[in-house]
Amino acid sequence: MKPTLTVSAVQQPCNEDRQTNLNFSIAKIEEAASANADLVVLPELHLGPYFCQNEDYNNFALAQPIPGPATEILATVAKRLKIVIVSTIFEKRAAGLYHNTAVIFDKDGSIAGKYRKMHIPDDPGFYEKYYFTPGDLGFKPIDTSIGKLGILVCWDQWFPEAARLMALAGAELLIYPTAIGWDPQDTPEEHQRQLDAWITIQRSHAVANGIPVISCNRIGFEQAPNSDAGINFWGNSFIAGPQGEILTNANATEVKLLTATLVSTRIEKVRQIWPYFRDRRIDAYQDLTRRFID
Amino acid sequence: MKPTLTVSAVQQPCNEDRQTNLNFSIAKIEEAASANADLVVLPELHLGPYFCQNEDYNNFALAQPIPGPATEILATVAKRLKIVIVSTIFEKRAAGLYHNTAVIFDKDGSIAGKYRKMHIPDDPGFYEKYYFTPGDLGFKPIDTSIGKLGILVCWDQWFPEAARLMALAGAELLIYPTAIGWDPQDTPEEHQRQLDAWITIQRSHAVANGIPVISCNRIGFEQAPNSDAGINFWGNSFIAGPQGEILTNANATEVKLLTATLVSTRIEKVRQIWPYFRDRRIDAYQDLTRRFID
């Protein structure tokens, strides 16, 4: 990792007008670059509304190959601004084979790597198992000119295994593009518990692995098609340091470019003080590959 | 697990006068029983001061067999009060073989099981690798009359693998007796980051596994022998529900009996809403048993 790394995340709404939406993202990337950011993260599937609120085969028309039209535009932006960009795209890999895929553009506009979302949710309002085949690229950090990036996507954030495997493979940063929100029918107390749990579990990955975490969520209410239901995307994007300490964050409704500066010597010192990798009981972890121990 | 379970933790100092100290613990257990608690947790190595601040072979004289004098007293208390007790003892297993061992007494006074601390720290002021052989009983929940208890001890709390393995083996509660505190020479900001990290990582185990967590720490400043150094044990014991939500907690200095009531139907509902066990990518977790992926 660079000795000093400036990282950004764009908390934004993701609207129906896909061109306006993308232009908005690009304006924020330009703002990040003006602030000398090395890296900028966009929310999960930022090109448009979160289409997984129902199962509709017409939505497969939204998917794109990688490389494809969206990655060509973002590659140009990365090269022009000399900034690393983390985008997430509904990937068409083959007929009948689609993924939820993060694409990492390096500062020269090349695609440094891809990560295909490994853990796929399926909840009322989040019908992702219909659209996305679980990733088959494993938990491999992406080598870039600024360091090794451990990209994980949304539902992955609830699985400590994913964060650990990225860290064991040398990730120097964990990055979570995400699209998560509240069911307006739940109580305010349940909303608070869910939000706190989401912040807590992601901060814990920083703690457990001694590495910074960037979490980038969208904002805004999106109505489900032909339904009274919808999701109120809860924002609260944040950047945490290697002890899980919040360096910067956003509230539930604001558009915000979050930026923080990470210093590699401090990160290494934290990992010397709390040397968890030294003490992992790898002789006793075999059952982590079991579904359950009946 | 019982449909409704009342659980307690005793946050207390652990003083030089071992008899007074144990009597204090027993008085608090009586108080818990009067409040109809099913279970009470004592801090790690509660029989006396935290002796691992230096390496002194005379300290091995503090160790006891299990069963032994301390477990006989606590067994009697458990039986008299019909309460499950979680104690942690410096176990003498054989000549030259010692462990940091949690002992779980059931309501009838029997020893329901033991857990030998698996992850052993070694930091300035926490020289545990000198005293304790790493546990060899694995991550096995203890079957009791009130449910399956996932007992883990202190340094274990930083390892998501330990919590996960207990949950996969059917633990219905995670319980962390602990002895952790501040180095007075660190800054207030560092103190806050460490405390927040400690709370965050333990709450995250509740979140990741959908089960309640009890964390029981000691309080008070303990001077290291023949030294200006010492540890200011930071208390902050807490009981969290299955979304990591804090049900009750203590501050850094108070003696407190913490008590909370857990409802099994709510816990099961949380695990239905957030079904992480359904989606774990056990086909891609093999490398969790590696030290590092070079």
Tens digit of pLDDT for each residue in B95-131?
A: 999 999 999 999 999 999 999 999 999 999 999 999 9
Structure tokens at A286: 């075999």
Instruction: Tally the C-alpha atoms within 13 A of residue A255's C-alpha that lie toward its C-beta.
Output: 10
Interface TM-score (ipTM) > 0.90: yes
C-alpha dist (Å) from residue A273 to A243, A269, B133: 11, 6, 22
Residue A39 covered by a domain? yes
Contact B196 A244 (CB under 8 A): yes
B102 close to B114: Cβ distance less than 8 angstroms: yes
Of the candidates B117, B172, B158, the one whose C-alpha atom is nearest the C-alpha of residue B139 is B117
Of the candidates A175, A179, A201, A180, the one whose C-alpha atom is nearest the C-alpha of residue A85 is A175
pLDDT in the model for residue A174: 98
Quote the CA–CA distance of B66 and B68 in Å, as a whole number. 5
Q: Where are the alpha helices (DSSP H) in chain B?
A: 18-34, 69-81, 128-131, 160-168, 188-209, 264-273, 276-279
B136-178 confidence digits (pLDDT tens)? 999 999 999 999 999 999 999 999 999 999 999 999 999 999 9
Cα angle B137, B141, B142 (rounded to 5 degrees) comes to: 95
For the residues A189-216, what does the mean pLDDT come to? 98
B233-258 confidence digits (pLDDT tens)? 999 999 999 999 999 999 999 999 99
Out of A52, A91, A114, A154, the active site residue is A154
Residue A117 designated active-site? yes
pLDDT in the model for residue B2: 87
Residues 222-281 of A with CB under 8 A from B: 243-245, 273-274, 276-277, 279-281
Of the candidates A182, A177, A176, the one whose C-alpha atom is nearest the C-alpha of residue A124 is A182
B202-226 confidence digits (pLDDT tens)? 999 999 999 999 999 999 999 999 8
Q: How many CB atoms lie within 10 A of CB B223?
A: 12
Indicate the number of domains in chain B.
1
pLDDT band of residue A258 (cuts 50, 70, 90) is very high
Residues 93-152 of B with CB under 8 A from A: 118-121, 123, 134, 138-139
Query: Which are the catalytic amino acids of B?
Result: 44, 117, 154
Residue A107 designated active-site? no
Q: What are phi and psi of A259, to 5 degrees?
A: -140, 135
Pairing of strands A4-11, A97-105: unpaired
Contact B197 A164 (CB under 8 A): no
Residue A294 covered by a domain? no
pLDDT band of residue A2 (cuts 50, 70, 90) is confident
Residue B294 covered by a domain? no
Q: What are phi and psi of B196, to 5 degrees?
A: -60, -40
Residue to test with chain A: of B215, B289, B291, most A Cβ within 10 A = B289
What share of chain B has pLDDT > 70, as a percent? 100
Please tell me which residue of chain B has the smallest CA distance to A242: B197
State chain B's mean pLDDT as an integer: 97
Cα angle A170, A176, A181 (rounded to 5 degrees) comes to: 160
B127 close to B52: Cβ distance less than 8 angstroms: yes
pLDDT in the model for residue A181: 98
CATH of the domain at A199: 3.60.110.10
pLDDT band of residue A137 (cuts 50, 70, 90) is very high
pLDDT in the model for residue B1: 86
Residue to test with chain A: of B129, B161, B267, B286, most A Cβ within 10 A = B161
Of the candidates A237, A166, A248, A239, the one whose C-alpha atom is nearest the C-alpha of residue A208 is A166
B109 close to B76: Cβ distance less than 8 angstroms: yes
Residue B224 covered by a domain? yes
pLDDT in the model for residue B52: 98
A147 close to A107: Cβ distance less than 8 angstroms: no
Evaluate if residue A1 carries a pLDDT over 90.
no
Quote the CA–CA distance of A255 and B249 in Å, as a whole number. 35
B193 closest CB neighbour out of A120, A170, A243: A243
Residue A273 covered by a domain? yes
Residues of the domain holding A181: 4-289
Question: Would you state the torsion angle of the CA atoms of residues B41, B43, B44, B50, taken in this order, to the nearest 10 degrees?
Answer: -160
Quote the CA–CA distance of A66 and A94 in Å, as a whole number. 11
Indicate the pTM of the whole model: 0.98
pLDDT in the model for residue B147: 97
Please tell me which residue of chain B has the smallest CA distance to A274: B123
Quote the CA–CA distance of B219 and B232 in Å, as a whole number. 7
Count CB pairs under 8 A between chains A and B.
162
Quote the CA–CA distance of B21 and B222 in Å, as a whole number. 14
B77 close to B29: Cβ distance less than 8 angstroms: yes
Phi-psi region of B210 (alpha: psi -120 to 50; beta: other; left: phi over 0): left
Prior bond of B67 cis (ω within 30°): yes
Pairing of strands A181-182, A230-234: antiparallel
A150 close to A209: Cβ distance less than 8 angstroms: no
State chain A's mean pLDDT as an integer: 97
A21 close to A48: Cβ distance less than 8 angstroms: yes
